[in-house]
């Protein structure tokens, strides 16, 4: 909620890909403009210029966030209700208010057309202000409040925010079927840390392998201070501990398709009854069963978010020079590099490469680092 008094702010809007609009023929825009007119400056001018970015003057507040400056639109809050987005799909969202009621919502035109890096104006987990209108439990999302945390990835040259305003990410991988991808774990760890989210590594389906095989991998992440839990839906191993880690928290389950995210959540709370699917025997890849991120309340207290599975994770807004900062074990050895801008790949007298050679840094983690800065996709580790 904005605390400062709103002022006139010039903001960019999405590029207008239509032909230039004649100034004396704006009738086709009349309906949309009337909806937003009460929030616009009276002297505002809008012209279409082909592929050029459009600008408007709006009333709002510039608020500092960890990712920069964010514009909070001024609205008449007396006509609005605060709520949380439970599900967002396209321009339609389900918002739950403090009294437990759920509203089917559309997104105000001003909100959805403001220029931004991310694909969707509204995502699951967002705190919003809605204005009820029309039929019962129908509303319009008037404003999206600044996000305190988020989990995102790159998609088609845009940022795709999977979920916002959560406490922790449960990074689910399978010990086998589909094969384990250590590099995918590292990518999720970076995305979580960048989005101000605590990470938990969950290795599922441990009934398919000898747990001793996993000890070297577990040891690497445990020494770095990450929470790790081994689970099996078949045997029930690790389910009580995972349930305790979720108690009272807002958690997102993330990972590739087929690792068992929905099955784990069904074990955590049988009331959820989420749809599950078998692994494809042709390519040993998971099948998509979850279509969109959804916030689900669990019996032990707290919320969980089941997200659609992915087969690769493209990091968003992380330059190769920044990657070393997300590898905790690198921090002590970077000062030992000869060159201050060392990439830890080909340079002589590199502290990181020397630490890898002396087994102070995991070779698997170092290879993961190299793949990430080179933009390579994570490769699986197959168990025989």
What tens digit of pLDDT does each residue of 132-175 get?
A: 987 789 999 999 998 999 998 887 777 888 899 999 999 999 99
Q: CA 291 → CA 222, 261, 294, 317, distances in Å?
A: 32, 13, 9, 25
Task: Classify residue 50: in a domain, yes or no.
Answer: no
The annotation places the binding site for GTP at: 204-207, 255-263
The lowest-confidence range among 54-58, 158-162, 236-240, 245-249 is: 54-58
Supply the pLDDT for residue 52: 47
In a domain, 155, yes or no: no
Specify whether 77 is located in the same domain as 108.
yes
Nearest to 47, CA basis, from 18, 23, 27 = 23
Among 79, 112, 146, which residue terminates a domain?
146
Predicted confidence band of residue 72 (pLDDT cuts 50, 70, 90): low
Read off the tokens for 17: 């890909």
> Within this chain, do residues 181 and 302 fall inside the same structural domain, yes or no?
yes
Which candidate, 226, 372, 357, 265, places its Cα nearest to that of 312?
Answer: 372
Given a cut of 80, whether residue 377 has pLDDT beyond it is no
Q: How many domains does the chain have?
A: 3
Is the same domain home to 179 and 267? yes
| CATH, residue 138 | 2.40.50.140
Q: What is the pLDDT of residues 82-122, one digit of tens each?
A: 999 999 887 889 999 999 999 999 998 877 776 455 567 89
Q: Is residue 113 part of a domain?
A: yes
C-alpha 162/C-alpha 124 separation (Å) is 7
Let me know whether 71 and 201 are in one domain: no
Spatial contact of 142 and 111, defined as CB atoms under 8 Å apart: yes
Q: CATH no. for residue 349?
A: 1.10.40.50
Which structural domain, as residue segments, surrounds residue 255?
164-277+291-306
Highest mean pLDDT among 37-41, 293-297, 358-362, 375-379: 358-362
Residue (of 299, 208, 303) closest to 258 by Cα position: 208
**Residues in the annotated binding site:** 204-207, 255-263, 337, 342, 344, 350
- The answer to whether residues 232 and 358 belong to one domain is no
Q: What are the angstrom distances between the C-alpha of 280 and each of 47, 223, 284, 285, 287?
A: 52, 35, 5, 6, 7
Q: What is the mean pLDDT of residues 55-81?
A: 65
Confidence of residue 123 (pLDDT cuts 50, 70, 90): very high
134, 227: one domain: no
119 inside domain = yes
pLDDT for the residue numbered 91 = 80
Tokens of 165: 């305003």
pLDDT tens-digit map of 256-294: 888 999 899 999 998 888 877 554 444 444 444 445 788
Instruction: Tell me which of 47-56, 246-255, 348-357 is least confident.
Output: 47-56
332 falls within a domain: yes
Question: Same domain for 140 and 69?
Answer: yes
For the chain, percent of residues with pLDDT exceeding 70: 72
Task: Based on the fold, state whether residues 259 and 197 are members of the same structural domain.
Answer: yes
Question: What is the residue-averaged pLDDT of the chain?
Answer: 80
- Is the pLDDT score of 45 beyond 50? no
Look at the pTM and tell me if it is higher than 0.75.
Answer: yes
Residues in the annotated binding site for Zn(2+): 337, 342, 344, 350
Task: Report how far residue 212's alpha carbon sits from residue 218's, in angstroms, rounded to the nearest whole number.
Answer: 10
CATH of the domain at 246: 3.40.50.300
Same domain for 334 and 200: no
pLDDT at 70: 57
Q: How far is CA 65 from the centre of its chain?
A: 17
Same domain (yes/no): 66, 89: yes
pLDDT of the residue at 116: 52
Q: Is residue 34 part of a domain?
A: no
Do 102 and 169 sit in the same domain of this protein? no
Write out the DSSP string of 116-149.
-SBS-SS-TT-EEEEEE-SSTTEEEEEEEPPPS-
Instruction: Report pLDDT digits (tens) over 177-195.
Output: 889 989 999 999 999 999 9
What is the phi-psi region of residue 316: left when phi exceeds 0, alpha when psi lies from -120 to 50, beta otherwise? beta
Which residue among 87, 120, 146 closes a domain?
Answer: 146
**Structure confidence at residue 18 as a pLDDT band (50, 70, 90):** very low
Mean per-residue pLDDT, 39-56: 48
Q: How many angstroms separate the CA atoms of 248 and 302, rounded?
A: 4
Domain assignment present for residue 255? The answer is yes
Would you state the structure tokens that stand for residue 324, as one six-digit string? 């070393």
Domain shared by 69 and 118, yes or no: yes
Of these ranges, 121-135, 142-156, 221-235, the one predicted with the greatest mean pLDDT is: 221-235
**Is residue 69 domain-resident?**
yes
Supply the DSSP string of 12-66, one letter for each residue.
Answer: EEEE--SPPPPTT--GGGHHHHHHHGGGB-TT------TTSEEEEEEEEEEEEET
The confidence score (pLDDT) of residue 198 equals 96
């Amino acid at each position: 909620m904005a605390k400062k008094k709103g002022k006139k702010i010039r903001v960019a809007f999405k590029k207008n890909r239509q032909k230039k609009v004649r100034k004396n023929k704006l009738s086709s825009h009349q309906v949309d403009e009337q909806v937003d007119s009460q929030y616009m400056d009276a002297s505002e001018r809008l012209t279409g210029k082909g592929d050029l970015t459009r600008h408007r003057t709006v009333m709002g507040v510039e608020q500092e966030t960890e990712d920069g400056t964010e514009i909070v639109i001024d609205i008449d809050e007396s006509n609005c209700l605060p709520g949380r987005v439970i599900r967002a799909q396209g321009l339609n969202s389900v918002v739950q208010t403090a009294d437990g009621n759920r509203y089917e919502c559309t997104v105000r035109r001003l909100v959805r057309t403001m220029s931004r890096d991310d694909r969707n104006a509204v995502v699951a987990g967002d705190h919003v202000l809605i204005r009820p209108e029309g039929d019962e439990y129908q509303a319009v999302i008037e404003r999206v409040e600044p996000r305190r945390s988020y989990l995102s990835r790159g998609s088609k040259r845009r940022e795709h925010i999977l979920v916002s305003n959560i406490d922790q990410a449960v990074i689910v991988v399978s010990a086998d079927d589909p094969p384990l991808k250590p590099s995918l774990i590292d990518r999720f760890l970076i995305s979580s840390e960048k989005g101000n989210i605590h990470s938990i590594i969950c290795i599922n389906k441990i009934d398919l392998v000898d747990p001793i095989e996993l000890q070297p991998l577990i040891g690497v992440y445990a020494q770095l201070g990450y929470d790790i839990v081994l689970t099996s839906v078949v045997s029930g191993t690790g389910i009580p501990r995972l349930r305790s880690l979720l108690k009272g928290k807002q958690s997102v389950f993330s990972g590739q398709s087929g690792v068992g995210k929905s099955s784990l959540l069904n074990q955590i709370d049988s009331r959820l009854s989420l749809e599950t699917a078998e692994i494809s025997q042709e390519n040993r890849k998971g099948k998509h069963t979850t279509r969109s991120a959804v916030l689900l309340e669990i019996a032990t207290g707290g919320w969980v978010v089941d997200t659609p599975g992915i087969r690769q994770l493209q990091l968003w807004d992380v330059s190769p020079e920044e990657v070393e900062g997300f590898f905790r074990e690198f921090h002590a050895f970077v000062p030992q590099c000869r060159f201050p801008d060392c990439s830890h790949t080909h340079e002589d007298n590199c502290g990181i490469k020397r630490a890898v050679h002396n087994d102070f840094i995991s070779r698997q983690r170092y290879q993961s680092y190299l793949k990430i800065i080179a933009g390579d996709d994570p490769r699986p580790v197959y168990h025989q």
